[in-house]
Structure 1
Amino acid sequence: MHLYGTQTVNGKGHLTIGGVDTVDLAHTYGTPLVVYDIALFRERAQAFKETFNNVGVRAQVAYASKAFSSIAIYEIANQEGLSLDVVSGGELHTAVVAGFPRERIHFHGNNKSFTELQYAFDEKIGCIVIDNFSEIALVKEIAESRQEKMNVLIRVTPGVEASTHDYITTGQEDSKFGFDLKNGQTDKAFRQLHDHPYIKLLGMHCHIGSQIFETDAFRLAAEALMEKMIVWRDDYEFVCEVLNLGGGFGIRYTEEDQPLNPSAYVEEMAEVVLSLTRTHNYPLPEIWIEPGRSLVGDAGTSLYTVGSMKEVPGVRTYIAVDGGMSDNIRPALYGAKYTAVTANRMDESHEKQVTIAGKCCESGDKLIEEAHLVEPAEGDIIAMFCTGAYGYSMASNYNRLPKPAVVFCENGHHQLVVRRETYEDVVRLDIPLQSVEQLEKI
């Protein structure tokens, strides 16, 4: 079996993460529980930064925090010198509460509200990534009314189609995101922004998708944006200071996945940019990237406790756990595949094929259809690997299930960073129905 990061098996035959026994974690905090290997997060962050240093390119590595957003992970990102990509007022507020340096916050999103944009100006964040013409008008209105400057990037769709799931492909022409590079939208946006007195256009941004394993699409995207930047230099004497090539670097969820080392993506993109700047005598821009999944995806492991079991003779064995699509919607949403182990019996043979079902009242609530575990027993602790990205961040209270707790582990220590929801939390925003008499008094 493939273990990730600091995962090992201790003398009790238990899976450990960050030097901490996962069975002890399950007993201490309960299940479902999301456990993060913080040493792995730090290792990945430093690897991206070191690769840029090695190729001699100025860069910002921004954690794409929609993958997993919390005060504690923002604090870790800041400790590692990362920038931060937020996509909503809620994520921005989390960054503010975490004390994240505002100048390293980049605000994305295809439908930022007027209130959200005002908040970005209030906090004097580092950059707004402008997604559409409506947003240009809103940013101009706020900047002019306040007479305050704001750095911006133009998000473009370069017409590059990456090999990934349709739901997480974002760089093709038919996308809800950004200005089309080929039909003149990007040039129109540029003309509206580049000489505005309160808007400093830093350059361009693209993001071609997620869970991408090859480098060809990243090279094509870099080439397309660099070519447009050269045109703007030649036609308008405008030089882009920043080229943001997004994220989307794939990770290993199952043995079928063959991701590249994160440095390979950086090296390929940098090679394209360096070559074109030399050929066209263009000042080398600062390159920004936005890894999310590749920082937290395989750093996260979900722990569940086995409950009921059901044998369908000649078909399959179901084992039900105390979580499911409420804490990880990805298998039901787009058929995402995972691997799992029996965390409390790691030294036993994992040859029993089972379907791990969740407890939500949906037939489609299956976390893994063909998991290979130890012959299951009620009370076993199941560890499902690589759940650190888009698990907790997409969690819901479907069936009024409380969201799980989140724990960070590192160097033998563990720390609760998101508490488990209670039933009281689930009903906290509900308002009881008022009687007619009460309504008449309003």
Structure 2
Amino acid sequence: MSLARRRSQRATQISAAARTITQRAPVTLTLARHRAQPTAATIIRLTACAVFAYLIALPVPETSPPVLAPLTALLVLQVSIYQTLYSAVRRVAAVVTGVLIALGLSRWIGFTWWSLGLTITLGLAVGYALRLREAVLEVPISAMLILSVGSKAAATSRITETLIGTAAGLIAGLVLTAPQVEPAEEAIADLARTMADLLDQMAAGLNDGSIDDSARAWLDQARALGNEITRVDEALQRAEESTKLNPRSMRLPYSTVTLRQSLETLEHAAITVRVLARSLTDTTRLAGDDNSLNDPDVRRGLADTLRELSAAVRIYSSLATELDAHGHEVLKADLERHLAAARDEQDRLSELLATAPAVRPVGWPLRGELISHLGRLRSELEAGTPDQRPRPRRNRSWRPPRPSRQRVPPALRKLIR
């Protein structure tokens, strides 16, 4: 290859990379701003809560200077009211337990190295027995502080400031904590977008004939969807927990398709995409006429089916977050249209892949697998449409019932890999 030709190809690659970076730049900036907003909101919540606790504890004579009140408020306040309440209960129980242990030991022993060890051992034992979890260290800490001072006034001050800080954390949680629904909705959209992009890549590779070089990469991307599903599940758990005991959750709008049900549908679809990618990879290993993908008509028909399914996946993710009735009906009609088109393309592809029973080429089971996986992916999306689901009473996208998720058995996971 001549030097001029290599330079030309290099310039083309750099130009393509520059276009890709330019296209992704707005998305990257948007994600950066989105990630910065929760951090700034958390800083404001914690600062306001600590200052509020300090101002409440300032007039109390036993708490001067009231440093423990804002400290307790910072430790109590969590990302959800549900977590804040449990943290408050454990924190108060830990401090009161530690103070009682210190007052009991101070009557019999003084502050020495062996009494310090005894206090820590007893405090940790009681804390673990009460299942205080992350607040278990508060028991020996409170006991050591009170035992070193040996004053009932210090014990009273410790408990008072803890109660004030806990109350401030609870009030701040009720006032400042909002349901975290948008991150869960965005996680659902990202998962569907990733899955749809993979289907588009498969369709493009089938059209340009690069499937032999790309099939293995498609399989790796399909396997990576499991990590995305785990991330979405964690976001949904945070969203569901953020609505517990939250007064603002009563004002959240109603949605027909819940986020949890949508995740289950996309999870089943991701498994189907993985086994479909596996079948394509196995097919590329066949030679000659045994490889059905050597037929341009088969590749074209399979690509058309994948494109319709990709569009259906993108539309399906919007159904979970679309709250407008008219917009919901429009999306539903578009989903049905793409699924119907995928069914027609699949029927034509079935005719192309059909073989006589007497012939049975080497890769004939893979032909049936391709059709089966395409039909299963389409049926998963059809089963997830609103008309096919029971409409629960007062069920919202942010607060669904927690059904038992259908997991794939480990033995089956090994087979489809």
Taking structure 2 as the reference length, what is the TM-score of the superposition?
A: 0.23
Q: In terms of Rg, which structure is larger? A: 2
Taking structure 1 as the reference length, what is the TM-score of the superposition?
A: 0.22
